[in-house]
Amino acid sequence: MPAPITPLLDLDLLLTDAERATADRVAALATGWRASIAGWFANSDAPVRGIAADLGSAGLLGMSLPAPFGAGAGAVEYGMACLEVEAVDSGLRSLLSVQGSLAMHAIHAFGSPDQAERWLPGMARGEVVGGFALTEPSVGSNPAECRTTATRTADGWLLHGAKKWITNGPVGDVVVTWALTDEGMRGFVVPVDAQGVTMQEVPERLSLRASSCGEMTLEGVALADEYRLPGARGVKAPLSCLNEARFGIIFGTLGAARDSLLAALDYTVGREQFGKPLAGFQLVQAELADMAAELAAAFSLAVHLGRIKDAGRITPAQVSLGKRTSAATALSIARRARALHGANGVLLEHPPMRHAANLESVVTYEGTHEMHTLVLGQELTGVAAFR
């Protein structure tokens, strides 16, 4: 954590030397994006493929996968990479986690060796950009209600349906797509340029504007069986991919929170009202103290969950606990940091409102705050309350 947070929280003590080195390396890479991020957000024109190439060159795409497809990084090391990228913008971290923890993870976990060799090396380098298509225009929190279908044919499969909220989709090459078959839900690697695929950008988004997000229509898309992920059976397969990506969110959102808090500290110390800095007023100091304490608590939980994950013991409920806590904490900090900027807080030159707008999506995607609340409720009581 950079000054002036470091002397108070000293959170680096929770990390190993390797984890700190990765955080520093990714922070240096991310610094190159800072001068442009406000414009990318305003114009919704981030150079996604160029950023993917940067991430690939730095070894950050699929970094948790074992060699030769990844670096075999530990959970906390991966988490710190997500944190430093999201300290610039949640849209950039979404690119990182969808490519590595959804698309690449799905191919590695459920694909054949030939499929892994075909797609993963290019994806790890950022030369092949991938998306993940589970959510549909009318199906969100309950993927078991998926309406996209894949029907067997003499030559393979025929896909029909529609998917939405596909990060990387409009600029990507392949999309891991989930569809219902006679055997239940199965996964397919769908080339974006396949005949019958229509992909377009989701228009008029007020959040995650420094990313690419698409909606896809599948109209009689014919795929050979080699595009089916043979190990993916049932709804548990895509949900396991989401757990991998959610883990990155646990850390990533705290990067946005940290950047918002630093911006608030800088602004309130430098801005004078009534003859003294804003930071000299008790109510302002109370807000800053609360925000720092909440960030420290959420970060400590994130590292603890990372250690559990590295020990091979993490459960879906624990991932829900982390995602719910970090996303809600980060959104609260970003909103309050914006308020401490007064009217100037709505200007793009100050990052908290951009972070807050992005985090409104992050608390919703990959399991809404409410759904994770019910997951925790069921874990505590043994009673499901989803219906």
Q: State the Cα–Cα distance between residues 272 and 126, nearest whole angstrom.
A: 46
Give me the catalytic one of 219, 366, 370, 379. 366
Q: In terms of Cα–Cα distance, which of 164, 105, 156 is closest to 134?
A: 164
Per DSSP, the residues of 218-250 read EEEEEEEGGGB-TT--STHHHHHHHHHHHHHHH
Note if 366 is an active site residue: yes
The H or E element containing residue 116 is: helix 113-124
Q: In terms of Cα–Cα distance, which of 365, 326, 330 is closest to 351?
A: 330
In angstroms, the first-to-last Cα distance of the chain is 42
DSSP state of 312: T
The phi, psi pair for 78, rounded to 5°, reads -60, -45
Between helices 282-310 and 316-340, what is the axis angle to 10°?
A: 160
Q: Read off the tokens for 387.
A: 């219906």
Per DSSP, the residues of 163-201 read EEEEETGGG-SEEEEEEEETTEEEEEEEETTSTTEEEEE
What residues are annotated to the active site?
366
